[in-house]
Amino acid sequence: EVQLVESGGGLIQPGGSLRLSCAASGFTVSSNYMSWVRQTPGKGLEWVSIMYIGGSTFYADSVKGRFTISRDNSKNTLYLQMNSLRVEDTAVYYCARDLQEVAGLDLWGQGTLVTVSS
Amino acid sequence: QSVLTQPPSASGTPGQRVTISCSGSSSNIGSTFVYWYQHLPGTAPKLLIYRTDQRPPGVPDRFSGSKSGTSASLAISGLRSEDEADYYCATWDDSLSANWVFGGGTKVTVL
């Protein structure tokens, strides 16, 4: 079955760090563009980061310098390392297969909740 | 404040046609494709429409997308109870560094 499963969310204090994982099955992460998208409480979706097939990475201005996207090809898993977390980073984080203009974000995980609070 | 503007809510009775608008600008909707996602809270968002008016396999033809200038629309015809969900439009914006920009979402209620 083709799917994405996120994990690693939880409650963390402001200034703390957390690493999210996104395990893929049914397709190869390293052969696809992969994005992280978050949904903040009561608000809509916000794109967070993308990793290209070749390894290039890009970030939303709101997380640049604090978040790092990476992947482990042997585990077919995408990661999001989140440092210097802020209250406003509280959200459900989704990973998604990103087919860009060809077909958009065509496959999403169920999300993992990150709560930043003291 | 989302880059793309959607009405916060829309509703209809079973069988009706509901249309959701998505307003942008020349640097986003006006210059590229639009994508639509359906999201039920607690579940994975689902791609409904890609490249403005294309449906992925398995998406009923009750769902259709269109664009005119800097605005796009998602139409749901023959509304069904299972269509009750949040709907988001998305595209790129040439003036921003974000890879994707989204609308604020529209909650569709089936009365």
B74-111 residue pLDDT tens: 999 999 999 999 999 999 887 776 689 999 999 999 99
Task: Identify the pLDDT of residue A78.
Answer: 98
In this prediction, residues A72-78 reach a mean pLDDT of: 97
Beta carbons of A47 and B33 less than 8 Å apart:
no
**Portion of chain A with pLDDT greater than 70, in percent:** 100
Residue showing tokens 């978040």: A67
At A95 the pLDDT is 98
Give chain A as a 3 state SS string. Answer: CCEEEEECCEEECCCCCEEEEEEEECCCHHHCEEEEEEECCCCCEEEEEEECCCCCEEECCCCCCCEEEEEECCCCEEEEEECCCCHHHCEEEEEEEECHHHHCEEEECCCEEEEECC
> How many degrees, rounded to 5, is the angle at CA B91 between CA A105 and CA A90?
70
CB of A102 within 8 A of CB of A32? no
The pLDDT of residue B2: 84
Mean pLDDT along residues A27-42: 94
Asked if A108 lies within 8 A of B44 by C-beta distance, the reply is yes
Chain A neighbours among B 64-83 (CB < 8 Å)? none
Q: How many residues are listed for chain B in this entry?
A: 111
pLDDT at A93 over 70: yes
Whole-angstrom Cα distance, residue B88 to residue B22?
A: 9
Q: What value does the mean pLDDT take over residues B40-62? A: 94
Identify whether the C-beta of residue A69 lies closer than 8 Å to the C-beta of residue A57. yes
Q: What is the pLDDT of residue B97?
A: 67
Give one word for A76, left, alpha or beta, with left for phi > 0 and alpha for psi -120 to 50: left
Distance CA A95, CA A24 (A): 10
DSSP state of B81: G
Instruction: Report the pLDDT averaged over residues B67-77.
Output: 97
pLDDT value for A42: 75
Residues B53-57: what's their mean pLDDT? 96
Cβ of B50 within 8 Å of Cβ of A35? The answer is: no
Chain A hits for B46, CB-CB cut-off 8 Å, are 108
Residue A106 near chain B (CB below 8 Å): yes
Q: What is the pLDDT of residues A13-24, one digit of tens each?
A: 999 999 999 999
In percent, the amount of chain B with pLDDT more than 70 equals: 98
Backbone angle region of A15, left / alpha / beta, with phi > 0 → left and psi within -120 to 50 → alpha: left
User: Residue B101: its chain A contacts at CB < 8 A?
Assistant: 47
